[in-house]
Structure 1
Amino acid sequence: MTALFNFESLLLVILLVICTCTYARATAPGLIDRNKEGFLGIFFKFARIGERLSPYVAVACVVMGFRIMLKA
Structure 2
Amino acid sequence: MNAYSFDGLIVAALLFICTCAYLKRVPRISSWLLSEKKGLFGVFYKAAVIGVRLHSAVALSCFASAFYVLFIR
Same fold (TM over 0.5): yes
Structure 2: gaps of 5 or more residues: none
Contact preservation (8 Å) 1:25, 1:31: no
Report how far residue 2 of structure 1 moved. 4.9
Q: Distance in 1 between matches of 2:65 and 2:32?
A: 28
Q: Structure 1 stretches (4+) deviating beyond 3 angstroms?
A: none
Structure 1: gaps of 5 or more residues: none
The alignment's TM-score, normalised by the length of structure 2, stands at 0.84
Q: What root-mean-square deviation, in Å, do the aligned CA atoms of Structure 1 and Structure 2 show?
A: 1.7
Q: Distance in 2 between matches of 1:2 and 1:66?
A: 17
Equivalent pairs, count: 71
Work out which structure has the larger RCO, using CA pairs closer than 8 Å and 6 or more positions apart in sequence: 2
What percent identity do the matched residue pairs reach?
Answer: 35
